[in-house]
Amino acid sequence: MPSPSDLPLYETHAASGAVFGERRGRAVVVSWGDPAGEHAAALDGAGLLDLTDRGALEAAGPSRQKFLQGMLSNDVVGRQPGQGCRAALLTAKGHVQALARVLVLDDAVLLEANADRLETLRRTLEHHRVAAPVRFAERPTAVLGLLGIEAGRALREAGAAELPLQPEDHRAASLGGQAARVARAGDLPGGGFVIHAAPQAAAAVWEALRKSGARPVGRDALDALRVETLRPWDGDDVGEDNLLHETGLVAECHSPTKGCYLGQEVIARLSARGGNVNKAMRGLRLSAPATAGAVVRAEGREVGRVTTAAVSPRLGPLALGYVHRSHFAPGTAVEVDGAPATVVASFVEHEP
């Protein structure tokens, strides 16, 4: 397992009883010893997330927005400083290379993505840049997250004077006396905020949010929340073998009115066919806990794979996964690792 001591906030977390684990080859905090309580805090209180396995790539230069408009699946041109969007970088064949949060600043555009996608982002953008007056550099950034109905209150008590209202809009803030940027995060389960801070300021920002009432939430509780809300995660649930239409993220990460961009022809062709794909992301109501990679079967044959599995304190064992179109209709009976399961379009109907 990768060393937890490599985490930017390792000492802070270790001192508060964090339980460390691994996700996609990176050390993470899986819990603080009470996943059910952390899950509740992220719903009914303020849940604090360490997302330092994300990073930021900065695009600068006079043509930065115009260039990114021709590369990403969502509109970048026309967005003003303080605005943003979610977007995908695709291959020419329409497969997802990376998902990114696009934040427009006065003098640059930030692309927040999983740290293991940053090199892919940079390499692909540099390859297509040719002579365009735009340059790319990784910006040292620690990313935190905040969930729950009390998240806004916690941010204000920690020092944020103004909070963004629309998804992916962002504002500069002072949290715990440290400069930060707060964005309204549409990709977090149930909505919430992400906070960008300099790595050396992350511990102070974390402690300021804890003092304002936010409770640390580990990846076990976060995974349960993601699955409950059918929120796929780049790397865990979305990879380079996926088309954007398969992920369920087209409406969020794609503009149907923009012009050409990398992979646009595939997106347009699928949209014209009603988004019909051979497999699609679905929720799976399980009768027994499963693990990522578990096989989904129906009528004795493989029809899909689990990408994220969790045990929800509210709903029991459940999962996200890709299921073949022959069996992805809601209510379809399948098996996951030999145990009965049901395909669902939403877990809400199953809540007690």
Neighbours of 47 (CB within 10 A): 30
Q: How many CA atoms lie within 13 A of 71 on its CB side?
A: 26
Q: Which two tokens stand for residue 266?
A: 């595939």
CB 84 within 8 A of CB 252: no
Q: Is 314 exposed, middle or buried (0-12, 13-18, 19+ CB in 10 A)?
A: middle
Residue ranges and CATH numbers for the domains of the chain are 1-272 (3.30.1360.120), 278-352 (2.40.30.110)
Q: What Å distances lie between residue 41 and 36, 45, 78, CA to CA?
A: 9, 5, 37
315: left (phi over 0), alpha (psi -120 to 50) or beta: alpha
92 CB contacts (<8 Å, ≥6 apart)?
262, 263
pLDDT at position 190, please?
86
pLDDT at position 352, please?
36
CB 102 within 8 A of CB 82: no
Which residue is it, tokens 């509780």? 221
Interstrand relation of 47-50 and 215-216 (parallel, antiparallel or unpaired): parallel
How confident is the model over 199-257, as pLDDT tens digits? 999 999 999 999 999 999 999 999 999 999 999 999 999 999 999 999 999 999 999 99
Eight-state DSSP code of residue 349: G
Q: How far apart (Å, rounded) are the C-alpha atoms in residues 346 and 21?
A: 29
pLDDT at position 1, please?
59
pLDDT at position 349, please?
53
The one-letter amino acid code at 266 reads V
Spans in the chain with pLDDT lower than 70: 1, 349-352
pLDDT at position 286, please?
98
Neighbours of 300 (CB within 10 A): 6
Neighbours of 17 (CB within 10 A): 12
